[in-house]
Amino acid sequence: MELRRLGSTGHMSSVLAFGAYALGKQSQEDADRTIELMLGRGVTHIDVAPSYADAELRLGDWLKRHPSPAIFIGCKTEQRDRAGAREELLRSLDRFGRDCHDLYQLHAVCTPEDLDACFAPGGSMEAILEARDEGLVRHIGITGHGWQSPATHVAALDRFPFATVMTSGNRMMASRPGYRRDWDALLARCVRDDVGVHVLKATAKGPWGDRTPTHNTWYEPLTAPDDVRNAVAWLLAQPVTTLCTAGDATLLPDLLDAAERWRESDPAAADALLADPAYTNFFDAA
């Protein structure tokens, strides 16, 4: 699988990062198989969080039996106060059996109000900076999703030189002029400042709404292999580092195939997704 440099971290991330939410509701035996599948296909980057059900426990159990410094783990906290963020940061390290986070991120910073809360006196950013100074964190990033996340992350980079940003993006979202303006501005800023870009919702079709979910994902995913390939190809043609896999392990094989073969697809073919009313209408409802 293609590797790309994750900004100033210097890490060579696979263009597909494993979204460990997929482990959260699996048995340990199933989680082991999932981890070994994605590592066997060349994935070098894992994204995980305390809020992902039992994902940290499943990943940590595997790590303690298979110590491997080659696996880059991005963890994060949704806590907004200093004490809560520090507690989560230390607990995650203990669960992984590691003494330092490769990447630790402010999680779900989607709006200016979220950003203000993180940077307020006594906020979570203080805990992360303290941990960095203690050698518990190597690199600091920020994550967010939704329509305001690109603009919010540009504002975040004005406040602090984050090593990475994780933001939501896909062909449908980029078809909206306001979002596309903010998306392009964020990517340009990240190129200029050598910030690694990690993309969420790459193959999301739209919110579940009042329908019964058919997958272990927050959003309904694209499932037709051609749609998955086209969505992945469109994003990997952008100046981004890595895309996060959807939160259901059954979707992983098609995502791995798409990431390995994305250059065989025409990124413009993703435009065909915009002709699907279900795709656009679902996101209109978000």
pLDDT at residue 261 greater than cutoff 90: yes
The DSSP code for 241 is: S
Q: pLDDT tens across 216-245, in order?
A: 888 889 999 999 999 999 999 999 999 999
CA 157 from centre of chain: 18
Across residues 239-265, what is the average pLDDT? 95
Contacts of 248 (CB under 8 A, 6+ apart): 22, 215, 216, 217, 221
- Nearest CA to 240 among 224, 262, 223, 219? 262
Contacts of 159 (CB under 8 A, 6+ apart): 115, 119
User: What was the pLDDT predicted at 285?
Assistant: 57
Which residue shows structure tokens 């963890």? 75
The answer to whether residues 107 and 77 touch, using CB atoms and an 8 Å cutoff, is yes
Q: Which comes out higher in pLDDT, residue 48 or 208?
A: 48
Residue 132's H or E segment, with its range, is helix 124-133
Which residue shows structure tokens 């907004």? 80
The answer to whether residues 195 and 162 touch, using CB atoms and an 8 Å cutoff, is yes
Secondary structure class of 193 (helix, strand, coil): helix
Q: Is the pTM of this model over 0.85?
A: yes
Phi, psi of 154 (to 5 degrees): -65, -45
73/238 Cα distance (integer angstroms): 23
Q: pLDDT tens across 125-135, in order?
A: 999 999 999 99
62/35 Cα distance (integer angstroms): 8
Length of the chain: 286
CATH 3.20.20.100 fits 3-284, yes or no: yes
103/246 Cα distance (integer angstroms): 20
Q: pLDDT tens across 24-54, in order?
A: 999 999 999 999 999 999 999 999 999 999 9
User: What was the pLDDT predicted at 43?
Assistant: 97
In the chain, % of residues over pLDDT 70: 98
